[in-house]
Amino acid sequence: MPLHDPAHAFVPYPDTPVPHAATGPLAGLTFGVKDLFDVAGYPTGGGSPIVLAMSGIKTRTAPTVQKLLDAGAALAGKTVTDELAFSMNGDNAHFGAPVNGAVPGRISGGSSSGSASAVSNGLCDFALGTDTGGSVRAPANHCGLVGLRPTHGRVSLEGALDLAPSLDTCGWFARDIGTFARVADVLLGDDAAPLPAAPRLLRPTDVWALATPEAAEALQPATAQVEKVFGTAAPVDAALESFDAMYWHFRHIQGREAWMTDGPLIERFAPPLGPGVKERFAFSRAVTDAQVAEAQAFRTRFRAHLAALLGEDGVLVMPCMPDIAPLRSDPDAALEDYRNRAIRLLCLAGLAGFPQLSLPLARRDDAPLGLSLLGPAGSDRSLVALAEQLSAR
């Protein structure tokens, strides 16, 4: 770990050499790894003191991390995660709040807080995170980074701690699309069915209405630029039920799976969970079978609905989050309100399992704001290619 980490982005584990290839497509780049992934020679803490205590020193490196090492990237360190990855705020009650490198007075977002912090503060070139309900997309938006939630299952999470397996994905952050694309080539390879060079842009007006008017306005120039390059976006409705209903369906699936993952640990050790995390697990414990069944049936219908809407060439152009990052000094209730609004935007990709790329193309009030591209299943690399085209103009 960097001995002087002014951003508190890295978990201060003792330095342990992690070999990487001398040459390869990522040679010369350094990267951070969210402390959910096993790295041989290090513990895996998952943002939880009890998990850290139980961890011991891992002897195997998660395959996705190994891929990056084999491609020549050098490990900079393991990064702080929100507790058990079950938060969107980037403030771990036990390990601290990594600093947002783009706007230090605002939250970094989470749960991949340390990864976004490390990259946005220039402490490494890119960093791995995970995204269950927004844990890559939220910090990418907040810290002014490129960040991808990939198609569910596309990037291996083997050797990483679960939160809600049917929603968990492995994503990453970079400051620029060039670096981001180099990592994409290693982690994604080519799409089996790439998007066409001129995709069919869609503007989900119902989703746009979830952003604050100020954020929607601030995103207009970037949207206009996207349309200038790829053609005018056709207005559509993306939701299948009300956003309230989608919100609850998402939370019921996430909650049930999170409790199956971490409930045994919580019941056995009664660990003191941080603010918000505690309440979220209490909610999770109380989710009923009927709620889960209804949510899963909805998810199946919604995935089919979104697949039909997008076909093989459609891309939603939409806000990543309702607005810029809240202030670090905002009261808990304001953060919780922001989170509840954010889940309504974030749950589309989550429920469908489709890829969503956040691009730091806008600002308001001196803070970054992400415009996002959401494509059909398997279009991950194509979305990155669109962003490369945009950047080249």
Q: Which residues are catalytic?
A: 34, 111, 135
Decide if residue 57 touches a second copy (CB under 8 A).
yes
76 close to 121: Cβ distance less than 8 angstroms: no
Count of residues engaged in binding a second copy, rule: CB under 8 A: 25
Distances (CA, A) of 264 to 47, 159, 256, 258, 290: 17, 19, 13, 10, 22
Site for a second copy in 92-131 (CB under 8 A): 92-97
The CB-of-137 to a second copy minimum distance in angstroms stands at: 25
Task: Please tell me whether residue 272 binds a second copy under the rule CB under 8 A.
Answer: yes
Residue closest to 353 by CA, chosen among 386, 314, 304: 304
Residue 35 CB, nearest distance to a second copy (Å)? 9
Which of 59, 192, 213, 270 binds a second copy (CB under 8 A)? It is 270
Q: Which is nearer to a second copy, 14 or 196 (CB)?
A: 14
Using CB under 8 A as the binding rule, the residues of this chain from 189 to 248 that contact a second copy are none
- The DSSP H or E segment spanning 379 is none
Between 53 and 297, name the residue whose CB sits nearer to a second copy: 53
| Residue the block writes with tokens 């505690």 | 278
Q: Which string of DSSP letters, residue by residue, matches 245-300?
A: HHHHHHHHHHHHHHHHHHHHHHHHH---PPTTHHHHHHHHHT--HHHHHHHHHHHH
Q: How many angstroms separate the CA atoms of 360 and 321, rounded?
A: 12
Residue 344 binding a second copy, by CB under 8 A: no
Is residue 271 close enough to count as binding a second copy by CB under 8 A?
yes
Minimum distance from residue 83 beta carbon to a second copy (Å): 10
368 makes contact with a second copy (CB under 8 A): no
- Only one of the segments 44-52, 248-256, 307-315, 323-331 lies at the binding site for a second copy (rule: CB under 8 A); that segment is 44-52
Q: How far is the CB of 269 from a second copy (least distance, A)?
A: 6
**Which residue, 13 or 247, is less far from a second copy as judged by CB?**
13
- Name the amino acid, one letter, at 200: R
How many CB atoms within 10 Å of residue 351?
25
Beta bridge partner(s), residue 367? 364
Residue 333 interacts with a second copy (CB under 8 A)?
no
Return the residue of 19, 28, 53, 264 that touches a second copy, per CB under 8 A.
Answer: 53
Binding pattern for the stretch 3-22 against a second copy, x by CB under 8 A and - elsewhere: -----x--xxxx--------
Question: Does 269 sit near a second copy (CB under 8 A)?
Answer: yes
With contact defined as beta carbons under 8 Å apart, do 234 and 200 qualify?
Answer: yes
| Amino acid residing at 186 | V
Instruction: Tell which one of 27, 40, 54, 307 touches a second copy (CB under 8 A).
Output: 54
For 298, half-sphere exposure in the C-beta direction (CA atoms, 13 angstrom radius) is 25
Between helix 243-269 and helix 289-310 the angle, nearest 10°, is 130
Q: Does 328 bind a second copy (CB under 8 A)?
A: no
Question: Which residues sit at the interface with a second copy, rule CB under 8 A?
Answer: 8, 11-14, 43, 45, 49-50, 52-57, 92-97, 269-272
